[in-house]
Structure 1
């Protein structure tokens, strides 16, 4: 007989972790606390220093799981981002992702040298680890908040592209500490290669995957979302194999895919949203398991971590944002908000495992300090983003999500799409009757949902702001339909 008790325990534990994560996400919105904090707390509670349900102390495994989860989270975030929005903030986002990370790392590193009894290289390594904002934390914090599009796009694009600089700096300082004769200037060509090839691979795989998804005829619609995730993993793996930035390749590939005309588009998007939530839950709970509260909540870690958090939030990040966005058209209130909303999350924690795995002296101490900084950032900044945006007059239009049960489908074999569209107040079709709207041929409005009520459309039906339109259209005329829908007054 095969002993299945370990498998049974693993499956039961996985179920409890997912249930705890979903409930934590639900309550996080009610109490205004970022979900990542609750996920981490769940991990700490069930860990060895809590109830002792799970003992986990393997940084290399946590690193592997964290990288996989970040690939899924970055891919989902890129899918949801519009090219038109990213294009308008491309330059400041790239500046924040490179110069901003460099400045932040340098200032925090200088503060770490003064606060802790460590060498300059160790201090700069610590600064590099916390130098970048985190895509998982930023995407989660902005997802349900109606922040102005420009601010949201800047922060999301920055967090999606600043990992290469943080990874480059972290690995470079580890090499210099372990091999003192290494010169950091000799490593800069590697950074150029990482950024350039990561961008190229992301574009190529994004284009190829969009064509493949549309051209291939799969027997089951459920295979298309899996197909898309496979390309996300391919982008990361292909880039990493040649020493390029896998994270950048994934984000760029997702941007290309998400802004292409796709068959089974809604199935792909919905699957990846759920998969990203699952990855986020497992990743942060696992990172919570990795930390030992008895080592985290010591005077040295807490006092030094609090001082470094203050320097990071109040000094380093504002200076980096100010200098990185000079002459780029951002107002003072916008710069203040970008400074405050630069959340730290999974990426710094995962980068903090690099020194431990590499055998750097005081690596575990660095991990605990970084973990404390991430918790401080999430608690202080994450809980006040909405209030600050409202105070600075940076709130955008309310984000509405339909709660009705109409099933969106993509009829790939019939070459037809069911298009969902929410009517904004400034849309050209708002206020018009259906019979007066110049929809393309072979496009038919199947349903209108208004204030949670289903309305049967006919010629005299007036389209109102806030309506959700469900339009069946031939794939051939989908672009023409979207052009008509997105026209402004």
Structure 2
């Protein structure tokens, strides 16, 4: 008997096996989708699992929802700056290239394999979209990348060609299954479908960043949930107005990627994991839906079909789409070979199954067999082909952890990341030569698996990730300067206040794993003296310029400024500090310092003073460390001495103990 507990157990086991199988994908260089499909087939009717699943409508529903989230995640993770140089060519490949592939394959299925012409064209439409994610998963597992603009072109093509393939499939399904279907209406339907879908995606995507920044949710975990709701609203709205929902969610993701919204990294990572979950759902469902015992009956035709697709249709479509471009013949050959088929064609093959026309089962099996053949053959030979064509290169190291700082609390200004691409003119330039505003700070540089504290002489390298801090308009202006095709070297001017920043000659030990002491009054001075006596490096942040000049005269690193602002704490390099000691009396300003410090450095330990329990409660929220209340510390010190005296048997002849 099938019970809810058994269903949940089975689903959990299948998902767990799929996640574990992804490790085998990395090891053997075969896309994970093959393992996901294999697990689904083993669990199905013809496998040891014996699960009877033949509901094409349910599989199509799962596939549609999953594809919406996958495409949104792809758009959200799209580096638009990298796409710009290949935008025109990518658009041609994802539209006219898809039509050319569908037409060529459809004619072959009709002329060589004996399918009726409408069914052959339906097969061509279904199989016309590509899956570049499978390509890049293989390359990453081998530590290899593709040179030049190959990667952005393939990413753009694969992310944007699904809507065209879906439209063609739905149109051809109607032609095959609906008698006397009017062909003339397809052109109008195409224009409405694409234009309305694009409009909905662009409009919602443009407003999504604004919504994220103003909704002010109390729980951070609700921001990804809000992102999920945007996907459903975007897709549903586009479909409701007869637009293309898949195009809408993809463009919505791209628009959100271009905006700077609250908890962007959290939302992006969540949707990346959700996209993986959706892929597992798709392939498990489709693996369950297929009957492996039916595949041998279409094996010969499917192999010929796949061979024509890989050897003729794809290369011709690529040659057409890249005609007159700057891509070399080797690069065009690589683009032709990386036209792997993935989830979308198998999902699209469920539309004929739902239509139920004669031969729809054979269409599904043909597509399934072709996708598996494409992935196994092209995926396995991907590395040798790339190496033979000379278009591979070592994968550039990327930071293991994001440099993003989430905005919350009383932090002033905003932070933004910018990635230095290999073809940018700023590659090789020193930080001091960048013509960016003086009130914009480069906090950190992510390079490989390391974080670097930038100095004036630090030179930028390809794939460096810069974390900038400043006011919104100025930091965006700085990014435009960095991304400019011809950046202007800055004219070096002396800073308005040289005491506001540490000298370039400051030793590394004072800007990494150091102690930052805010305030140099009586308490701050005692803390600094104790640290100096023990050889512990520290930096002082003090608002009084005379004290800062005195400290620097004694060789003590110090910066002048209000430490309740992000700029002053950033100049003391709190982002790389081990401990922050706040010795000022103002509890409200101290609270702002705590918020800023945690934002810049979530792992920092904070010590602060408080005048009362209420102030201590205010300062303790959300930070690790200790709050010292003056009266409590005095009482604790006296108690310690009393206990020490009692254990020693009333020393000093009964005289009171003296505190030094």
Q: TM-score range by the shorter chain?
A: 0.7 to 0.9
Query: Which deviates further from its counterpart, 144-153 or 212-221?
Result: 144-153
CA distance in structure 2 between the partners assigned to 1:122 and 1:458 by the alignment: 61
Displacement, 1:125? Answer: 1.6
Higher relative contact order (CA 8 A, sep 6+): 1
- Residue in 1 aligned with 2:367? 370
CA RMSD, 1 decimal: 3.0
CA distance in structure 1 between the partners assigned to 2:380 and 2:168 by the alignment: 29
CA distance in structure 2 between the partners assigned to 1:152 and 1:70 by the alignment: 21
Compared with structure 1, are the counterparts of its residues 368 and 294 closer, same or farther at alpha carbon in structure 2 (3 Å cutoff)? Answer: same
Matches within 5 A, 1:59-458: 59-134=56-131, 137=134, 140=137, 146-148=145-147, 150-296=149-295, 298=296, 300-395=297-392, 398-403=395-400, 408-413=404-409, 414=411, 417=414, 419=416, 428=426, 432=430, 440=437, 452=449, 457=453
- Count of aligned residue pairs for this structure pair: 481
User: Secondary structure in 2 aligned to 1:410?
Assistant: coil
**CA deviation digits over 1:248-290, x for unaligned, max 9?**
1111111111111222111111111111111112211221111
Q: Which runs of 5+ in 2 are unaligned?
A: 488-660
Give TM-score scaled by structure 2 length.
0.66
- Residue in 1 aligned with 2:611? none
1:11 counterpart (5, 8, 11):
8
Displacement, 1:428? Answer: 3.9
Displacement, 1:90? Answer: 2.4
CA distance in structure 1 between the partners assigned to 2:298 and 2:480 by the alignment: 56
Give TM-score scaled by structure 1 length.
0.88
Compared with structure 1, are the counterparts of its residues 83 and 449 closer, same or farther at alpha carbon in structure 2 (3 Å cutoff)? Answer: closer
Query: Which deviates further from its counterpart, 304-313 or 263-272?
Result: 263-272
Displacement, 1:207? Answer: 0.6
Displacement, 1:469? Answer: 5.3
Compared with structure 1, are the counterparts of its residues 53 and 415 closer, same or farther at alpha carbon in structure 2 (3 Å cutoff)? Answer: farther
Compared with structure 1, are the counterparts of its residues 394 and 135 closer, same or farther at alpha carbon in structure 2 (3 Å cutoff)? Answer: closer
Compared with structure 1, are the counterparts of its residues 411 and 283 closer, same or farther at alpha carbon in structure 2 (3 Å cutoff)? Answer: same
- Residue in 2 aligned with 1:54? 51
Aligned residues of 2:445 and 2:465 also touching (Cα < 8 A):
yes
Structure whose CA Rg is larger = 2
Displacement, 1:200? Answer: 1.3
Displacement, 1:120? Answer: 1.8
Aligned residues of 2:224 and 2:267 also touching (Cα < 8 A):
yes
CA distance in structure 2 between the partners assigned to 1:440 and 1:18 by the alignment: 50
**CA deviation digits over 1:186-232, x for unaligned, max 9?**
32110111111111111111111122112221212222222222222
2:38 counterpart (34, 41, 44):
41
Aligned residues of 1:441 and 1:477 also touching (Cα < 8 A):
no
Displacement, 1:368? Answer: 0.6
CA distance in structure 1 between the partners assigned to 2:448 and 2:326 by the alignment: 38
Aligned residues of 1:74 and 1:136 also touching (Cα < 8 A):
no
CA distance in structure 1 between the partners assigned to 2:425 and 2:321 by the alignment: 35
Compared with structure 1, are the counterparts of its residues 51 and 87 closer, same or farther at alpha carbon in structure 2 (3 Å cutoff)? Answer: same
Displacement, 1:361? Answer: 0.6
Q: Which runs of 5+ in 1 are unaligned?
A: none
CA distance in structure 1 between the partners assigned to 2:225 and 2:316 by the alignment: 42
User: Secondary structure in 2 aligned to 1:381?
Assistant: helix
